[in-house]
């Protein structure tokens, strides 16, 4: 069913990118994801092509979903569907994901990747990382792996690449892997964070626990800031969904698209 759905997207001419969990799996930073998440180009014509593909696939509405219209797309709402079959699949669609650039910029850096469902356009690692800075604690080890994988893919990482990676690693294990494979990244990092990294790097292995705890605390504080920002972002959308539900304007669950 999933392969058929992506075939229907192609036939309808829908412009989209694969994002979130499945994208992280394809980029080698996660092992499993239950949902399929798409970022569609937020235009009226593209919205109509997506609806055509959904109808052809027999999709039904699932949970808190407003009408798939510009007024809700532009407000950053998500749209939730279920694809039928012996093993149903859940599909989440957004036209304007939080923390993401305009669709055209993301499309320009996207990667065509071979999957079990065909060749699909997958959002780039830097844009995927921003989208995944959510409230979910489990997203941050995945983000850390994505950042490390992105550095490993660069033939000659620049100081800017290393600084970017340092800002997007949230686990001591992944940070240690980066430092072991790219010790020069410490010299690219300035300020207090750079000083802490140099101290950690220079500390003998047997005495690294204290220095490692300080680094872990710093990464934890940065992660908490991202989680708080994501909560604030979604609080507005959740309030709007409550208003739409009170007005009877949400799509009925299990109703065909």
Q: What is the pLDDT of residue 206?
A: 79
**Structure tokens of 28?**
């080698």
pLDDT, tens digit, for every residue of 103-141? 999 999 999 999 999 999 999 999 999 999 999 999 999
pLDDT, tens digit, for every residue of 73-85? 999 999 999 999 8
pLDDT, tens digit, for every residue of 23-74? 999 999 988 888 899 999 999 999 999 999 999 999 999 999 999 999 999 9
Other Cβ atoms less than 10 A from the Cβ of 142: the count is 23
Residues 88 and 58: their CA atoms lie apart, in Å, by: 11
Burial of 56 (0-12, 13-18, 19+ CB in 10 A): middle
63: left (phi over 0), alpha (psi -120 to 50) or beta: left
Residue with tokens 């994002």, as numbered in its chain: 19
Q: What is the pLDDT of residue 62?
A: 94
Q: Name the band, by pLDDT with cuts 50, 70 and 90, for residue 4.
A: very high
pLDDT, tens digit, for every residue of 229-250? 999 999 999 999 999 999 999 9
For the chain, domain boundaries: 2-124, 139-233
| Report field, pTM of the whole predicted structure over 0.85 | yes
119 in Cβ contact with 109 (< 8 Å): no
Question: What share of the chain in percent tops pLDDT 70?
Answer: 100
Distances (CA, A) of 82 to 87, 121, 139, 166: 11, 21, 23, 38
Taking the alpha carbons at both ends of the chain, their separation in whole angstroms is 16
Q: Name the band, by pLDDT with cuts 50, 70 and 90, for residue 191.
A: confident
Region 196-222: what's the mean pLDDT? 89
CB pairs under 8 A, 24+ apart, for 190-197?
193/166, 193/218, 197/166
Q: What is the pLDDT of residue 235?
A: 97
CATH code for 2-124? Answer: 3.30.460.40
Q: How, if at all, do strands 89-94 and 35-40 pair?
A: parallel
Q: What is the pLDDT of residue 146?
A: 98
Q: What is the pLDDT of residue 5?
A: 96
Q: What is the pLDDT of residue 33?
A: 81
Mean pLDDT in the chain? 94
Q: What is the pLDDT of residue 205?
A: 81
């Amino acid at each position: 069913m999933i392969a058929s759905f992506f075939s229907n997207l192609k036939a309808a001419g829908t412009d989209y990118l694969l994002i979130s969990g499945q994208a992280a799996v394809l980029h080698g930073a996660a092992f499993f994801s239950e949902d399929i998440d798409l970022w569609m180009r937020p235009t009226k014509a593209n919205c109509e092509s997506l609806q055509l593909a959904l109808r052809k696939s027999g999709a039904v509405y699932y949970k808190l979903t407003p009408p798939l219209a510009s007024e809700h797309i532009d407000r950053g709402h998500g749209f939730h569907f279920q694809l039928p079959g012996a093993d149903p699949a859940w599909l989440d669609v957004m036209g304007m994901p939080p923390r993401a650039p305009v669709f055209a910029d993301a499309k320009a850096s996207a990667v065509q990747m071979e999957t079990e469902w065909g060749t699909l356009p997958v959002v780039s690692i830097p844009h995927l990382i921003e989208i995944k800075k959510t409230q979910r604690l489990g997203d941050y080890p995945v983000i850390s792996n994505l950042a490390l994988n992105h550095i490993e893919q660069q033939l000659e990482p620049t100081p800017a690449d290393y600084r970017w990676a340092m800002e997007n690693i949230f686990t001591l294990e992944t940070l240690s892997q980066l430092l072991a494979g790219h010790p020069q990244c410490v010299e690219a990092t300035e300020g207090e964070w750079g000083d802490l990294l140099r101290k950690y790097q220079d500390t003998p292995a047997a005495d690294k626990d204290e220095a490692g705890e300080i680094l872990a605390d710093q990464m934890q504080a940065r992660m908490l800031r991202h989680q708080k920002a994501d909560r604030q972002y979604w609080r507005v959308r959740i309030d709007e969904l409550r208003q739409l539900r009170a007005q009877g304007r949400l799509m009925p669950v299990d109703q065909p698209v």
